[in-house]
Chain A
Amino acid sequence: GENVEQHPSTLSVQEGDSAVIKCTYSDSASNYFPWYKQELGKRPQLIIDIRSNVGEKKDQRIAVTLNKTAKHFSLHITETQPEDSAVYFCAAILNQAGTALIFGKGTTLSVSS
Chain B
Amino acid sequence: GAVVSQHPSWVICKSGTSVKIECRSLDFQATTMFWYRQFPKQSLMLMATSNEGSKATYEQGVEKDKFLINHASLTLSTLTVTSAHPEDSSFYICSASSRGLAGGGHEQFFGPGTRLTVL
Which residues of A are at the interface with B, using a C-beta cutoff of 8 A?
32, 34, 41-46, 49, 51, 89, 93-94, 98-106
Contacts and interface: CB of A to CB of B under 8 A. Distances in A.
Interface residues of B, number: 20
Contacts of A46: 107-108
A43 B93 CA distance: 8
Given A99-B97, A103-B44, A93 B110 contact: no
B99 to A, nearest CB: 9
A1 B42 CA distance: 20
Contacts of A99: 32, 97, 105-106, 108
A101 B59 CA distance: 12
Q: Give 5 nearest A-B pairs by CB, closest first.
A: A43-B110, A32-B106, A103-B43, A105-B43, A103-B44
Contacts of B106: 32, 34, 49, 51, 93, 99
